[in-house]
Amino acid sequence: MNLDLIKKYNVINKEIDVLNPLSVGNGSFVFTADVTGLQTLVNEYKIFPLLSIEEKFAYKESKKEIKLKSYQAYNRIVNYMTDSTNQEEDFNDLRTNYFKYNMFNLAFYYNNKLINKNDISDINQELDLIHGILYSNFKYNNQNVQVITKVCHDKDKLIIEVKSELLNTGLIVKFRSFKADYNKYGCLNELVSKIEINNNLIKVEDDYRKDIIKYETNGLIVLIDKEINFSNNDYLYLSLDINNNKNNLCSLEKYFLKLNNYLSNNEEINRRIVLSLYLIRINSCGKFPPAETGLTCNSWYGKFHLEMQLWHHLGLIYYGAYEEVINSLDYYFSIYEEAKKRAELNGFNGCRWPKMTDPSGLDSPSSIGPLLMWQQPHLVFMLLEIKRLNKDFDLLKYDILIKDTLACLTSFFYKKDDVYYLDYPLIPACECYDPLTTFSPIFEVEYFCFVLDLANSYGYGTAVSREIVNKAVKPKIFNLCYEGHINTSETYIKYNKDHPLPIMAYSFFKSKRLDKSIVLNSLNKINETWNFNSLWGWDFPSLALAYYNLGYKDKAIEMLLADYPKNTYLKNGHNMQKPEEETLPLYLPGNGAFLIACYHLFKSH
């Protein structure tokens, strides 16, 4: 991709903008800053918190076991951790265990007081996307302050440089670290129980975390009441090397240079493409699958949702950066045995991947998560797409993962009257459906069949998988539109919210089993009846892809840019989601889905 074009979309702030903090990072560590280049105005940035998050989890020792709820499947009883009744505390403890946390806060203080936003003026801040460097210039009490903020690409090392005459008269950088907490803010009020400085090392410890940060500075370092002050005259240099964590990814400049030039003639679309490529690279390319909010802030305790990984990563694969994805795909080897146990527990073959999880690969207790299955084909689909686009890719390395993923998919179908149906209970991608009355949802049936068929073409087929592709239940048609599953006729009345199931099988993949005219009818019906304010960030690219796959490229572009709250892309590039709830302010699956759509729309541009 052309670097001049990347530079064109550098983000510039000229004023305090609490919706647009800027981040630097390397895929395994992200530092998010305000207009001072640090995290000084933390009390002002309530919706988008200013955090320092590493791809590291705190862990509470626990031997609690959850009582499972029994359900009637097709021909047996199955059990899932979906009911918190009479075990609420244990349920919540396991759900929140393994969590990411805020590593530290860095802020400017002047004469021992946090600098006041009202005394900041002449702001000129620019994020250099190509090099991942944040340049922040401002005046404090009419005196110039220049700050450079960056994170090394090959290690979790933050570098801060400050130039100002105010350093001679009381301006310092204060380091504070807080008790590990799984909330969005990572806890910004209670300092860690133990912090010490020894031989250029800052050791931070509390009940659930222990971090070692190697520092380098040209100035003075003083520890006072669990807070560390860094100071010097005229120029202050500070580096913080966190937990000696190494990173094997290339620099941002090399990353952008290798990307495919899939761009449009639309300026706003190109801005979203470039900033999405930056944000996913710094937030979502570590050794674990990414959380929905990456490393910018915590959602769902910082855990990752495997059904979201495709939205994060398939776009990078299409834009030519599959190497950035491989580390998190290798994660599946580490949870392989746990996934086999999960499948065996309820009589399935192979390995069943969890929905919401962490480094352990354990399921998180939930009334919804354990009953989802649409994450299951993602790993195989991504690996086969990498192979399609990169002929030298070593697919054989993942042979056992592919085979056992497909074995579970195959065993999830049961045969009745020469037709294959999906087993139950099952909650589809659109989570508003009742698992007790939902049968063979359209998206899951078509997606499973599509991936089984695709795997067949790569030599992974079996007699049963080929028969399933040919004999799986057809989606229900009512009033010339596809229904969400075969046991409902109320998709566009009762379930016309959340993810639009009827067209998802004609979005990032195109089911051969669907009738284009019925898909078009369904798409038109969605436009007439759906609550678009209930859609999520990746739904708009999905709808756009449905239009594109039906031959309506102009309508696809209109949908990409549709003016709805959760299709908003801020100046910093983030797909804003639910800021009013302070739980999910940003949504990287939306950015990733946008890239997937743009690949299909503009790859031949």
Establish if 432 belongs to a structural domain.
yes
Over residues 278-292, mean pLDDT: 96
The CATH number of residue 18's host domain is 2.70.98.50
Establish if 68 belongs to a structural domain.
no
Over residues 283-293, mean pLDDT: 95
pLDDT of residue 186: 57
Statement to judge: residues 532 and 393 lie in one domain:
yes
pLDDT of residue 97: 83
Statement to judge: residues 200 and 325 lie in one domain:
no
Distance CA 205, CA 196 (A): 9
Statement to judge: residues 419 and 484 lie in one domain:
yes
Statement to judge: residues 239 and 310 lie in one domain:
no
Statement to judge: residues 46 and 151 lie in one domain:
yes
Q: Which helix (H) or strand (E) element contains residue 70?
A: strand 69-72
| pLDDT tens digits, one per residue of 449-459 | 999 999 999 99
Residue carrying structure tokens 């299955």: 373
Establish if 261 belongs to a structural domain.
no
Statement to judge: residues 403 and 478 lie in one domain:
yes
The fraction of the chain above a pLDDT of 90, given in percent, is 88
Per the CB < 8 A criterion, the answer to whether 320 and 256 are in contact is: no
Q: Which amino acid is at 221?
A: I
User: What is the extent of the structural domain holding 331?
Assistant: 301-314+321-602
pLDDT of residue 582: 63
Final residue of a structural domain among 246, 261, 280? 246
**Distance set, CA 87 to CA 68, 92, 94, 541 (Å):** 11, 9, 11, 40
Establish if 410 belongs to a structural domain.
yes
Is the confidence at residue 605, as pLDDT, over 70? no
Query: At 58, is the pLDDT very low, low, confident or very high (cuts 50, 70, 90)?
Result: confident
Higher pLDDT, 218 or 581: 218
pLDDT of residue 189: 66
User: What tokens were used for 514?
Assistant: 């669907």
Beta strands in 474-572 (DSSP E): 477-478, 481-482, 568-569
Q: How far is CA 258 from the centre of its chain?
A: 22
pLDDT of residue 308: 97
Establish if 83 belongs to a structural domain.
no
* Backbone torsions φ then ψ of 173, nearest 5 degrees: -105, 125
Establish if 93 belongs to a structural domain.
no
Distance CA 422, CA 445 (A): 7
Per the CB < 8 A criterion, the answer to whether 548 and 586 are in contact is: no
| pLDDT tens digits, one per residue of 494-538 | 999 999 999 999 999 999 999 999 999 999 999 999 999 999 999
The CATH number of residue 478's host domain is 1.50.10.10
Distance CA 34, CA 79 (A): 47
Statement to judge: residues 122 and 204 lie in one domain:
yes
Establish if 295 belongs to a structural domain.
no
| pLDDT tens digits, one per residue of 573-595 | 999 998 766 678 899 999 999 99
> How much is the mean pLDDT over the chain?
95
Statement to judge: residues 310 and 161 lie in one domain:
no
**Distance set, CA 364 to CA 67, 95, 287, 343 (Å):** 13, 5, 20, 15
Establish if 239 belongs to a structural domain.
yes
**Distance set, CA 156 to CA 213, 245, 247, 323, 491 (Å):** 10, 6, 7, 19, 48
| Span between the terminal Cα atoms of the chain, in Å | 14
Over residues 478-485, mean pLDDT: 98
**Distance set, CA 474 to CA 88, 449, 486 (Å):** 40, 11, 8
| pLDDT tens digits, one per residue of 107-160 | 999 999 999 999 999 999 999 999 999 999 999 999 999 999 999 999 999 999
CB-based burial label for 137 (10 Å; 0-12, 13-18, 19+): middle
Residue carrying structure tokens 């302070």: 582
Q: How far is CA 90 from the centre of its chain?
A: 27
The fraction of the chain above a pLDDT of 70, given in percent, is 98
**Distance set, CA 533 to CA 178, 476, 498, 578, 582 (Å):** 37, 26, 9, 11, 17
Q: Which residues contact 267 (CB under 8 A, 6 or more apart)?
A: none
Statement to judge: residues 23 and 156 lie in one domain:
yes
pLDDT of residue 193: 86
| pLDDT tens digits, one per residue of 386-440 | 999 999 999 999 999 999 999 999 999 999 999 999 999 999 999 999 999 999 9
Statement to judge: residues 341 and 214 lie in one domain:
no
Statement to judge: residues 308 and 236 lie in one domain:
no
Statement to judge: residues 161 and 242 lie in one domain:
yes
Is the confidence at residue 315, as pLDDT, over 90? yes
Distance CA 556, CA 358 (A): 35
Is the confidence at residue 1, as pLDDT, over 90? yes
Angle at 360 between CA 320 and CA 431, to 5 degrees: 70
Final residue of a structural domain among 246, 261, 284? 246
Final residue of a structural domain among 202, 221, 246? 246
Q: Which amino acid is at 581?
A: E
- Alpha carbons within 13 angstroms on the beta-carbon side of residue 183 total 12
Q: Which residues contact 354 (CB under 8 A, 6 or more apart)?
A: 306, 335, 338, 339, 342, 361, 362, 363, 364, 369, 370, 375
| pLDDT tens digits, one per residue of 531-551 | 999 999 999 999 999 999 999
- Alpha carbons within 13 angstroms on the beta-carbon side of residue 295 total 30
Total domains in the fold of the chain: 2
